């Protein structure tokens, strides 16, 4: 049984790395395809080194572009991989363009697909990620879920319960494995900060950064928050471009930097007083770390981070953000608990399921050229 593990954007690395390690341990034949959807030579190398992942066997190098351009280029390149190699299972993770593109190719060629982090739903189809989640799930054959809401969503959409496997969260596998070394590095010292004395901000969702007035409104709120606590802001390239294009100034207490390596960011997040973000994965990581999280969105596909964890949806509402920041600074914030099966063993459960398979090729397009 030969397994193809697909990565494309940085969040994929943390989800796939524990699975690759578990397969190595059990000597399961596998290879890694890196689509190059997010690719910076230095950052990509650092991520693979820090997660102790093997160098990808195949690099597609698709680069950036519109959703259609990027998805199309990934499909054309991945189709060649599937034609040239015998593959028994394609594993995709998350909700990025690489996820749906490779799932489409595999489905049309009759190659079974496993979706890691299946079933998450924001119920907001204005988010490109939501479209990717829905399409990938309805192409897949195996569904590995991180929380109970995902199980329920899949069942409501007609997915057979026997194909759904509640395994936990591979991103938390990576976090628990690396948190010790991340803290040993004391990355806050690089920025002249002390543990618990700063907030961490990430911002990259198109709804928040691509429309000038929306970005101005968020920055205005962030600048006001920085009067109470310094903010460290690793800038996503697109966010940096939009800020410069719009001439939108950041307050002196909002310290910007380039995107950070995994261990550096993890250490900073673990010791932040709170995190402001529009990222899905960071909602999960802050919950696992018991760090307050203010999500700059009106919805989340990860409701367990609210019901069990430390997350609160504040959107871009000035009053909500201000009130929540005050609550945190006054230590009026509930302590969360780690959700079920977020115990560092999700990858082992996934590979247990895969090892139990007796794969039968689905009918699909011929792989003959």
Catalytic residues, by residue number, are: 204
| C-alpha torsion 293→295→298→302, nearest 10 | -70
What one-character DSSP code corresponds to residue 331?
A: T
Residue 144, SS3?
A: strand
294, 322 in Cβ contact below 8 A? Answer: no
**How many beta carbons lie within 10 A of that of residue 369, not counting itself?**
6
Question: DSSP of 226-294, one letter per residue?
Answer: TTTS-EEEEPPHHHHHHHHHHT-PPPTTEEEE----HHHHHHHHHT-SEEEE--HHHHHHHHHHT--EE
By the 10 Å C-beta count (0-12 exposed, 13-18 middle, 19+ buried), 116 is classed as buried
> Among residues 40, 33, 92, 85, which one has the least CA distance to residue 59?
33
Q: CA 205, CA 239: separation in Å to the nearest integer? A: 9
- Angle, CA of 146, 148 and 150, to the nearest 5°: 65
CB 88 within 8 A of CB 3: yes
Q: Which tokens belong to 77? A: 């390149």
Beta bridge pairs of residue 91: 5, 114
∠ CA 187-191-193, nearest 5°, is 85
Please provide the size of the chain in residues: 369
Tally helices (H) and strands (E) across the chain. 15, 13
Tell me the C-alpha distance between 15 and 346, whole Å: 10
Q: What whole-number distance in Å separates Cα of residue 178 and Cα of residue 172?
A: 10
């Amino acid at each position: 049984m030969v397994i193809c593990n697909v990565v494309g954007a940085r969040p994929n690395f943390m989800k796939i790395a524990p699975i690759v390690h578990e397969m190595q341990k059990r000597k399961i034949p596998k290879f890694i395809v890196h689509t190059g959807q997010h690719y910076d030579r230095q950052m990509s190398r650092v991520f693979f080194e820090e997660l102790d992942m093997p160098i990808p066997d195949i690099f597609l190098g698709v680069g950036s572009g519109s959703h259609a351009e990027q998805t199309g280029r990934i499909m054309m390149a991945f189709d060649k991989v599937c034609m040239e190699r015998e593959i028994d299972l394609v594993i995709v993770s998350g909700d990025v363009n690489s996820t749906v593109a490779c799932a489409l190719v595999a489905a049309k060629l009759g190659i079974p697909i496993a979706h890691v982090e299946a079933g998450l739903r924001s119920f907001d189809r204005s988010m490109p990620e939501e479209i990717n989640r829905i399409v990938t799930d309805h192409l897949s054959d195996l569904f590995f879920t991180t929380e109970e809401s995902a199980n329920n969503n899949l069942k409501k959409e007609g997915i057979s319960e026997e194909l759904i496997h509640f395994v936990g969260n591979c991103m938390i596998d990576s976090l628990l494995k690396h948190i010790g070394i991340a803290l040993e590095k004391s990355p806050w010292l690089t920025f002249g900060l002390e543990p618990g004395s700063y907030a961490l901000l990430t911002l990259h969702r198109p709804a928040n950064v691509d429309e000038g007035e929306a970005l101005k409104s968020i920055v205005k709120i962030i600048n006001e928050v920085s009067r109470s606590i310094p903010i460290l802001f690793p800038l996503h390239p697109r966010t940096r471009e939009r800020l410069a294009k719009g001439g939108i100034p950041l307050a002196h207490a909002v310290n910007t930097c380039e995107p950070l390596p995994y261990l550096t960011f993890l250490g900073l997040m673990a010791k932040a007083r709170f995190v402001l973000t529009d990222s899905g994965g960071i909602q999960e990581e802050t919950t696992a770390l018991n760090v307050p999280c203010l999500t700059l969105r009106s919805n989340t596909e990860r409701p367990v981070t609210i019901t069990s964890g430390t997350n609160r949806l504040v959107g871009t509402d000035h009053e909500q953000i201000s009130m929540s920041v005050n609550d945190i600074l006054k230590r009026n914030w509930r302590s969360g608990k780690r959700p079920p099966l977020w115990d560092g063993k999700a990858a082992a459960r996934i590979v247990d399921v895969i090892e139990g398979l007796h794969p039968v090729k689905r009918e699909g397009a011929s792989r003959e050229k």
